Structure 1
Amino acid sequence: MEQFHGVGVTPGRVVGPVLQMPAPVSEPGPGPVPGQDAVVEAERIRSASKAVQAALKDRAAAAAGEARGVLEATALMAADPMLVKGAVKLLDPSADGGARSAERAVWESGAAVAAKLESLGGYMAERAADVLDVRARIVAELRGLPAPGIPASPTPFVLAAHDLAPADTATLDPARVLALVTSGGGPQSHTAILARALGLPAVVAAPGVDTIPDGTPVYVDGAAGTVATGPGPEQEAAAAAWAAQAAALAGGFTGANRLADGHPVPLLANVATGKDAAAAAAAGAEGVGLLRTEFCFLDRPTEPTHDEQVAAYSAVFAEFAGKKVVIRTLDAG
């Protein structure tokens, strides 16, 4: 048995076969295409970025809750002026290092934007992976290739990868994906945030899990932050016990939490919309520990009006009348 150690972001114990994410989009070679017309290539970049943005918006429309907000934010990144204009500038023969092809220009521009975010540290550094995902999608669009995506399988599996893009994580189907394990990422990455929102057992920052061969049976412990190959009877029993416990809780959980000495420990939900709050209340939450107000701003070109914000917040308050609701003011980095 080989064991990998990482950061557990969602508790849960499961056993299943691994499937690795497909290989990422390959890096374009340096230099321009012979006979390249910079004006034509610039328009190709703009068109590709708009196509990727439209595809991500379509995914967002089909998603709900936190997943929708993340996808909408990622869609905005696809048309980010810093990314697109930076790429167009690199098409010019007078650019430092000479002209690049459209694919190479997008690749280098995306790397520069990601580097700036990483230099800011914290939450913004976690967004660098989102920019690199958008970059890969634009390059794939320029090449006429399908966008990166989650592998298909007729049976449930444990998804392994270096890291997942928000566009992939947000559309994970918990009925098909038993657990999520990555060698990269962090506890505040969109991969972790969305795994928690889905209730999907997940371990991130576990070096080596992206090298486990497809089909290898593994045991994932999302609380301990461990992944082990070749699970035995003990791990099988632990996974079965967890599944039984989860089923029992789903049928009778009231949200009333107390320690053995009677001390109350309220369960507070992390929500972004009134719909999220309704789902949390239905699941037994006793209030809101974090209302993520930035999601009101992410799916539109202009900021919401005062009345729109009042309506958005009131929808959350209505679900928890007389109970605790913690509001985080706009997180603009």
Structure 2
Amino acid sequence: MRCPILNQTSPLNARSSFEPERALQLARDAVTVEAQALLALRDRLGEAFVQAVQAMLDSSHRVVVMGMGKSGHVGRKIAATLASTGTPAFFVHPGEASHGDLGMVMPGDTVIALSNSGESGEINAILPALRRLGVRLVAVTGKPESTLARHADIVLDSSVAQEACPLNLAPTASTTVQIALGDALAVALLDARGFREEDFAASHPGGALGRKLLMHVRDLMRTGDQVPRVGPEASFSETMREMSRTGLGATAVVEGDRVLGIFTDGDLRRRIEAGEELRTRCAKDLMHPSPKLIRADALAVDAAELMERHRITSVLVVEDDGRLVGALNSNDLMRAKVI
């Protein structure tokens, strides 16, 4: 089978001289057009936007987002943003909805339908079915007089004076406005729901924020035999062996389970530089008293902040009664990608 040959007049074969200054000017013009479209959107936000937010707050069901073509790509992003900020949402392709996927939509859902023209055949074809389901329909369209707008309960005007495309054809400024409207809805909803950083982290457990807000010291700390410790009368050589055994770079000095102090690699280096005779010293003479401690139920990010603030690389973990239960160093935090 021969490969098709592009027509010699095809734009793909057209060779034109690249003009850097023209390209830069077009880029600036595109940004300007989209910025102006966003400012115009800001100025016309009003009662309809409030009604859309209220409809989604009042619903005990989900938000279903629909859109064709570029509006469909935007719709997927809007659904993802809503879902990650406390509003259960998902995307349904309008074309697939006519062939069974409409079963994903339940009575009581709120449907956000995006269509710049308001005349997308795939969306308009399912409008009667959506009405029979009893959903609340929010239209995001650039044509408030369109078929979609006439069938909607709430209309959000996403019109633009012009596209950023120099041919005024490719969806550019219009899709930017759609994205901004979706973000505005998500922001208003998360605020109204009292959505917090902890809630965001719960839906992003694999992300950096999730690690910072969900991971606790107890999840990362060394425990049991991996926590170096010596008694106050331990000799210098015993203390050094215990420091080396676990590779923590420090050892706790304890009486029973109560922390008296800590001796670290840094303490050793400073004493050697000062010319001290260490071989005859015991742990209680070597240790740094009143070390920085942290509780096992503290956030791991708090341990990282404590180490950074005091310029230390290890911290001992204690219970409320001061009993030593673990140890943590900066390497443990880095492996967990907390820092």
Whether TM exceeds 0.5 here: the answer is no
Report the TM range for the smaller structure's normalisation.
under 0.3
TM-score in terms of structure 2 length: 0.20
Structure number with greater CO (CA < 8 Å, separation at least 6) is 1
TM-score in terms of structure 1 length: 0.21
